[in-house]
């Protein structure tokens, strides 16, 4: 889910989001130029822990906003959390960070099974989903021939773990998917298939986040294109993996454009929609890189002193990603590791010579 933010407002939706209704004051660095960069912020473990804001988050947004509380650079909140209404989640985030309540729009609807986030009663939800799949959408009927392929299944969150207020990580929607996949295979002897996987680390999600960033810059009236994105997250297997995967995609896409126009680039093995191709046509494709910044306030913890200016490597040996994504150790190596989101903002500002 990508939440576009402008004038400290955020539009939220599953591959849909409303842009800011009013224009923020134009940000300026020491040289007087508009920003050529934007931020993609994860939420849980970066900005909040449960219902409590991470203290550094408020300091970070003080740096990002001007004296009137308006953002000086384009920002998108990129979260996989989708197990509540957008209006409720947006209000929750607004209160935690002291933001203005955002406008929201409705979810699109499709025929099939849409999995947004881990439920409260897992056994009940697992039973109902299996009933729907085995009955081809008619769970009140008696079980006869099991249809295969089954109804379309769309998953919007692949995080195995996430951080709330507890000291240890909590089971995420990726854990629920793991249960669903294994139950379906145990019952039918066949693999559960996904129509699409949306949310981090899927490239289509980052593509849409880039689209929102560019929309904000255009509404600001900034003529200078956005060239760089800084993706700040706490989870190497979703935030870092996704940002690095999208960075590879950007490099490949730019090479393809030079050679033969817009092409679909090679990616890690994952079911994808073709939406990102349309999104490429809808914006100016100016973004050249997406750098991953890993913070230590959530899933990832670092015990030693953490340098904020040099590249470090996470030593993940167990792949927590979804089964349909390949494990490439280089994709979980963060471009930078910092203590918290405020340090991440300072790091990006320094790299961009932004005051």
pLDDT digits (tens, 9 = 90+) for 206-251: 999 999 999 999 888 887 899 999 999 999 999 999 999 999 999 9
Structure pTM?
0.77
pLDDT at residue 79, as a whole number: 85
Residue 88's beta-bridge partner residues? none
Dihedral of the alpha carbons of 113, 275, 73, 55, in degrees to the nearest 10: 20
User: What does the H/E/C string look like for the chain?
Assistant: CEEEEECCEEEEECCCCCCCCCCCCCCCCCCCCCCCEEEEECCECCCEECCEECHHHHHHHHHHECCCCCECCCEEEECCCCCCCHHHHHHHHHHHHCCCCCCCCCCCCCCCEEECCCCCCHHHHHHHHHHHHHCCCCCCCCCCCCCCCCCCEEECCCCCEECCCCCCCEECHHHHHHHHHHHHHHHHCCCCCCCEECCCCCHHHHHHHHHHHHHHHHHHCCCCCCCEEEEEECCHHHHHHHHHHHHHHHHHHHHHHHHHCCCCCCCCCCCCCCHHHHHHHHCCCCCCEEEEEEECCCCCCCCCCCCCCCCCCCCCCCCCCCCCCCCCHHHHCCCEEECCHHHHHHHHHHHCCCC
Please give the mean pLDDT across all residues of the chain: 78
pLDDT at residue 13, as a whole number: 32
List the one residue out of 66, 74, 70 whose CA is nearest residue 8: 70
Tokens in use for 31? 């040289």
Residue 154's beta-bridge partner residues? 114, 196
- Would you say how long the chain is, in residues? 355
Compute the C-alpha angle 283/332/213, nearest 5°: 20
Say if residue 342's pLDDT is above 80.
yes
Mean pLDDT of 101-105: 51
How far, rounded to the nearest angstrom, does the alpha carbon of residue 188 sit from its chain's CA centroid? 32
Place of tokens 């454009």: 257
Mean pLDDT of 261-284: 47
Q: Which of 57-66, 76-85, 213-222, 261-270 has the lowest mean pLDDT?
A: 261-270
List the one residue out of 270, 267, 239 whose CA is nearest residue 253: 267
Mean pLDDT of 95-121: 64
Say if residue 9's pLDDT is above 50.
no
Residue-range domains of the chain with CATH: 2-105+202-351 (3.40.50.1000), 113-197 (3.40.50.1000)
Say if residue 16's pLDDT is above 80.
no
pLDDT at residue 315, as a whole number: 52
pLDDT at residue 21, as a whole number: 32
Q: Are 206 and 280 in contact (CB under 8 A)?
A: no
Q: Are 14 and 1 in contact (CB under 8 A)?
A: yes
Tokens in use for 247? 């960075």
- Spatial distance between the Cα atoms of 154 and 195, rounded to a whole number of angstroms: 6
Q: Are 40 and 243 in contact (CB under 8 A)?
A: yes
């Amino acid at each position: 889910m990508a939440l576009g933010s402008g004038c400290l407002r955020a539009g939220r939706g599953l591959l849909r989001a409303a842009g800011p209704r009013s224009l923020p004051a134009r940000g300026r660095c020491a040289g007087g130029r508009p920003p050529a960069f934007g931020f993609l912020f994860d939420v849980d473990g970066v900005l909040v822990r449960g219902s409590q804001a991470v203290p550094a988050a408020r300091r970070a947004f003080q740096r990002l906003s001007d004296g009137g509380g308006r953002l000086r650079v384009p920002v998108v909140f990129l979260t996989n959390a989708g197990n509540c209404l957008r209006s409720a989640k947006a209000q929750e985030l607004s209160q935690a960070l002291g933001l203005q309540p955002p406008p929201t729009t409705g979810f699109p609807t499709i025929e099939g099974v849409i999995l947004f986030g881990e439920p409260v009663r897992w056994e009940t939800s697992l039973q109902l989903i299996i009933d729907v799949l085995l009955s081809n959408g008619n769970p009140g009927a008696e079980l006869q021939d099991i249809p295969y392929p089954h109804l379309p299944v769309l998953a919007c969150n692949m995080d195995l773990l996430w951080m709330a207020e507890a000291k240890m990580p909590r089971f995420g929607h990726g854990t629920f998917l793991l249960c669903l996949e294994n139950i379906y295979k145990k019952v039918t002897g066949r693999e559960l298939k996904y129509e699409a996987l949306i949310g981090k680390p899927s490239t289509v999600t980052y593509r849409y986040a880039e689209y929102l960033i560019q929309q904000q810059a255009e509404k600001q009236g900034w003529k200078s294109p956005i060239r760089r994105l800084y993706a700040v997250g706490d989870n190497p297997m979703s935030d870092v993996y996704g940002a690095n995967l999208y960075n590879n995609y950007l490099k490949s896409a730019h090479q393809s454009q030079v050679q033969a126009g817009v092409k679909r680039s090679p990616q890690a093995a994952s079911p994808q929609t073709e939406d990102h191709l349309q999104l490429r046509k809808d914006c100016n494709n100016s973004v050249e890189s997406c750098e991953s910044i890993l913070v230590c306030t959530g899933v990832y913890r670092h015990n030693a002193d953490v340098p904020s200016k040099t590249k470090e490597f996470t030593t993940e040996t167990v792949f927590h990603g979804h089964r349909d994504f390949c494990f490439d150790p280089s994709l979980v190596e963060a471009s930078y590791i910092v203590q918290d989101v405020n340090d991440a903002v300072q790091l990006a500002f320094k790299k961009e010579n932004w005051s």
